[in-house]
A and B are shown apart, each in its own frame.
Chain A
Amino acid sequence: MSVARDEFATRALEEGRLDEAIRHLAESARGADDRRQFFHVLTLRGRYDDAAAVLRQDLEAAASAGPLRADDLRERGNAAWRADRLSDALDDLREALRVEVDLSKAKGIEGDVAVLEDQIRSMKLVESQLRDVNVASTVVGGLLIVAVLWIGIATRRRRPGHAGPAGTPISTV
């Protein structure tokens, strides 16, 4: 791992002590490379929100010193993507594509943007259809609740009169 600087964390990772490496880095990661390593390890452990938060903090600090580099934007976009924040991810990747000057890297980012746009498009279709399903199930559910209430009232109502003794005929209509 090229970004690894913290020797203890690196050794812990190699020996399969991932959680220990995270605990160590959470306390000790201060320099830029260690913070990168911390972000990377959190990603491996599936703690995407924590990883994105680490990266966001670092990049916000960097942004105050000037515009972000394409690599940083791409990394933040990918982190947001992994953390299921699709719109944020798309914003960052588009911005990375805009500022990237290396053509081969730009091509890679373009591919990522296309895949993400496709995912967002299909998710929006899903969302709109889910909205319809939600409305329809609420309407049907409401009707059924009314039906239940009606049954409750209808079956509680007493009919006038009484059955009469055995042998009383039931009128035929």
Chain B
Amino acid sequence: MFLLYWLIAFLSGAGVLVVEVAATRALNPFFGQSTFVWTNVIGLILLGLSVGNVVGGRLADRTRSPALLGVLLAVASVLVGVSGWITGPVARWILPADLPLESAYGFLVKGSFLAAFACFFLPVALLGAVFPFLVRCASREIGEVGSRSGSLAAASTLGSIVGTFLTAHLLLWTLGTRGTLLAAGAALMLAAGLLFVAGRRRSNAWAAVVLAVAGGAAAASPAARAAVSGAAMGRLIEARETRYQHVEVRARDDLPVAADVLTIDEGLDSFQSVTPAEGTLTGGLYYDAFTMLALARPAERPLEVLVLGMGAGTHVRQLLDVVGSRRALSIVAVELDPGVVAIAKERLRLADDPRLAVVTDVDARPFVAHARKRFDFIIVDCYAQQSFLPPHVASVEFFEAVRDRLADGGEVAFNAFGYGASDPVVEQIVQVLVHCFPNGVVVAAVPRSASFVVYADRDGRAQLPSHWSTASWPEPLQRLARSMAKPGTAWYAERDPRIDPVRDDDGRLERVQWKRLSEHADRLLGSLR
């Protein structure tokens, strides 16, 4: 009998961590995967466990019935199984339709808290109630309470370890988020069935087995594996869960050109990559500005380009099309998520090309640190959570490594998103570049957008757009170049003694980014009063 209790402890411990890891993934398409979302999920799960421990302990003082323990576990398993299915409706109820990123801060932080509470608190609290009950059921005399509770606690912790690794490395990948939670629910229901057998409740046991089998079959079904539609804007073409994140392809007709876009996690009104319905130019979005920088590079030798943060390949498609038709070039493109590359090839017209080498499953930072090759032009476009710059690809140390990868006369260009040129995040990034490239950093505003292209040469002073020779460029790029060449649209950044350039061991950039989002939302909403 003790073996059964040990197994239950193991499974309930595993169940808690399966819920914890899968909950974050279930919330990703709506609230992203920021530190706040993780914190909300972890905090609520620990609190749920704690509440469950106390309630379960009280219950265990009153009765020592395996059948009642089975009922607890059965209810928990049903709630775990359905939690993945109710996350979408709950999140959609919390989030307004077409929520713009600039006013999303409160929704992302508090909304994820509410959704995590509504979907995952109760099942975890019930799982938390299981443990003290198990100790009570498994102990027949006072003298063995210590050893039995120790064994059960160890089993629960072992289960948690297995649940964590199994979920992250196998279940989410093969079954999807909803399938994973259904499978966890089915396993817990099976355990409840065993408890019913031990408690001589045969009809309950049969019902539990039937439910467990049904849950297991549902977990393996394509419907459970299918990704849910998240909070991004535009008509959904396909949603998919990759090993790293939730990705969607959506059709947008509100951009300068009609296009299919790639969105990641919550998406909202932003996008990571753009595939126009025709051609490769994006009607003046920031991607076009990077291609202009590549066109402006000296043409005495084949152009070697490194793209850090390829996404679905908007930059590389443009470079191959526009620059590659004018001069010899080769591109190495780094994209952490192979799932993004796969969906780009299937849905966003990223074609295999002998001039293009795509590196996946490697973060931009280690790639730059370990690469041997040098490049004439490096594009840095590594964003997470829509407008969020991961600090490790925006620090002094990162850009020093990037500088080391530049060939003689090479140029680096960085995509900086900001609410105006005095945006604190833009200022921070610019100061990092000014520190690493003291010869002159150009900040160029991309007209009619919230993007800035910040670029610098390794050895000399980068040219302003007004000095580019654009006569041979495609007409849309000439037009954009004329806009960017207007006085005051691009300028040389000055060293600002008030701002210390951000380094790796510095939490400022993350803080500033959240603060920017919250302050901008407050300003906009406050202006209505």
Partners in one complex: yes
| Chain A interfacial positions (CB closer than 8 Å to B) | 1, 4, 10, 13-21, 40-41, 44-48, 82, 84-88, 120, 122-127, 129-130, 133-134, 136-137, 140-141, 144, 147-148, 150-151, 154-155, 163-170, 172-173
Residue B113 at the A interface, CB < 8 A?
A: yes
- What would 10 more interface pairs be, CB under 8 Å, given A127-B528, A133-B94, A140-B113? A13-B491, A16-B464, A18-B491, A19-B491, A46-B423, A134-B106, A148-B50, A165-B143, A167-B142, A170-B140
- Of B217-225, B292-300, B482-490, the stretch lying at the interface with chain A is B482-490
Q: Is B491 within 8 A of A140, CB to CB?
A: no
- CB-defined contacts of B65 to chain A, threshold 8 Å: 173
In the complex, how many angstroms separate the beta carbon of A75 from the nearest chain B beta carbon?
17
Residue B374 lies at the interface, judged by CB distance under 8 Å to chain A: no
Flag if B420 contacts A133 (CB, 8 Å).
no
Identify B142's interface contact among A46, A127, A163, CB under 8 A. A163
For A166, the chain B residues whose CB sits under 8 A away are: 141-144
With most chain B CB atoms within 10 A of its CB, the pick from A123, A167, A168 is: A123
* Of B143, B488, B529, the contact of A40 (CB 8 Å cutoff): B488
Provide the bound-state CA to CA distance between A150 and B125, in Å.
15
Q: Does the CB pair A170–B142 fall under 8 Å? A: yes
- Number of residue pairs spanning A and B whose beta carbons lie under 8 angstroms apart: 140
Q: Is the CB of A84 within 8 A of B523?
A: yes
- Choose among B113, B141, B422, B527 the residue that contacts A169 (Cβ–Cβ < 8 A): B141
Interface string of B500-521 (1 = CB under 8 A from A): 0000000000000000000010
Q: State whether A151 touches B113 (Cβ < 8 A).
A: no
Separation of A126 and B100 alpha carbons in the complex (Å): 9
Chain B residues, Cβ within 8 Å of A88: 527
Q: Which residues of B contact A86 (CB under 8 A)?
A: 524, 527-528
- Across-interface contacts of B529 in A (CB, < 8 A): 87
Q: A16-B442, A18-B488, A137-B110 are in contact. Are A173 and B525 (CB under 8 A)?
A: no
Quote the shortest CB–CB distance from A116 to chain B (angstroms): 11
B142 touches A168 (CB 8 A): yes
- Whether a CB of chain A sits under 8 angstroms from the CB of B64 is yes
Q: Among the listed A1, A144, A165, which residue makes an inter-chain contact with B47, where contact means beta carbons less than 8 Å apart?
A: A144
A151 touches B50 (CB 8 A): yes
A88 to B492, CA, bound (A): 33
Q: In the complex, what distance in Å separates the CA atom of A10 from the CA atom of B419? A: 25
- Chain B's closest residue to A13 (CB) is B487
B476 contacts A by Cβ under 8 Å:
no
Q: Does B111 contact A (CB under 8 A)?
A: yes
| 19 A-B interface contacts by CB (under 8 A) | A10-B487, A16-B491, A82-B420, A84-B524, A86-B527, A88-B527, A122-B98, A125-B96, A127-B525, A130-B525, A133-B94, A148-B47, A150-B54, A151-B50, A163-B142, A165-B142, A167-B143, A170-B145, A172-B64
Asked if B498 lies at the interface with its beta carbon under 8 angstroms from chain A, I say no
Determine how close the nearest CB of chain A comes to the CB of B490; give it in whole angstroms: 6
B63 in contact (CB, < 8 A): yes
**Contact of B139 with A by CB under 8 A:** yes
> In chain A, what residue has the closest Cβ to B427?
A46
Contact indicator per residue, chain B 212-249, by CB within 8 Å of chain A (1) or not (0): 00000000000000000000000000000000000000
In the complex formed, the residue of B with least CB distance to A124 is: B528
Is B488 touching A13 in the complex (CB atoms < 8 A)?
Answer: yes
| Bound-state Cα–Cα, A117 to B179, Å | 44
A44 to B520, CA, bound (A): 18
- Contacts A133-B114, A169-B141 given; indicate if A16 touches B527 (C-beta within 8 A): no
Give, as a whole number of angstroms, the nearest-CB distance from B60 to chain A: 10
Given A84-B520, A126-B525, A168-B141, A46 and B54 contact (CB-CB distance below 8 Å): no
Give chain A residues whose Cβ lies under 8 Å from the Cβ of B47: 144, 147-148
Q: Does B149 contact A (CB under 8 A)?
A: no
Query: Inside 8 A of A134's CB, which chain B residues have their CB?
Result: 106, 110
State A144–B423 Cα separation when bound (angstroms).
37
**A163 vs B142: C-alpha distance when bound (angstroms):** 6
Interface residues of B in 381-429 (CB under 8 A from A): 418-423, 426
Min CB–CB distance A156 → chain B (angstroms): 11
Which B residues touch A170, using CB under 8 A?
64, 136, 139-142, 145
**CB pair A155 B111 closer than 8 Å:** no
B275-295 vs A, Cβ < 8 Å mask (1 yes, 0 no): 000000000000000000000
B264 contacts A by Cβ under 8 Å: no
Closest to A148 in B: B47
**Quick check: A46 and B422 within 8 Å, CB to CB?**
yes
Contact A46 B418 (CB under 8 A): yes
Which of B44, B423, B491, B529 has the most A CB atoms < 10 Å from its CB?
A: B491
Known: A16-B492, A140-B117. A129 touches B96 (CB 8 A): yes
Contact B98 A87 (CB under 8 A): no
Indicate whether A137 sits within 8 Å of B113 (C-beta atoms), given known contacts A46-B418, A151-B54: yes
Tell whether B445 is near chain A: CB-to-CB under 8 Å: yes
7 smallest A-B Cβ distances: which pairs? Answer: A166-B143, A46-B420, A46-B421, A18-B491, A13-B487, A46-B422, A44-B488
Complex contacts, B145 vs chain A, CB 8 Å:
163, 170
Give Cα A168 to B96, complex, Å: 61
**What residue in chain A is nearest B445 (Cβ atoms)?**
A44
Q: How far is the CA of A144 from the CA of B121 in the complex (A)?
A: 11
Indicate whether A151 sits within 8 Å of B51 (C-beta atoms), given known contacts A16-B492, A44-B488, A133-B107. Answer: yes
- B487-A120 in contact (CB<8A): no
Q: How far is the CA of A140 from the CA of B40 in the complex (A)?
A: 12
| B198 contacts A by Cβ under 8 Å | no
Separation of A21 and B403 alpha carbons in the complex (Å): 30
Beta-carbon contact of A44 and B494 below 8 Å: no
Q: Is B470 an interface residue (CB 8 A)?
A: no
B423, A1: Cβ atoms closer than 8 Å: no
Cβ of A48: which chain B residues have Cβ within 8 Å of it?
420
Contacts of B525 in A (CB 8 A): 123, 126-127, 130
Known: A10-B487, A46-B421. A120 touches B528 (CB 8 A): yes
B143 touches A168 (CB 8 A): yes
Report chain A residues within 8 Å CB of B422: 45-47
Contacts A45-B422, A47-B422, A122-B98 given; does A133 touch B488 at CB 8 Å: no
Which A residues lie within 8 Å of B100 (CB)?
Answer: 122, 126
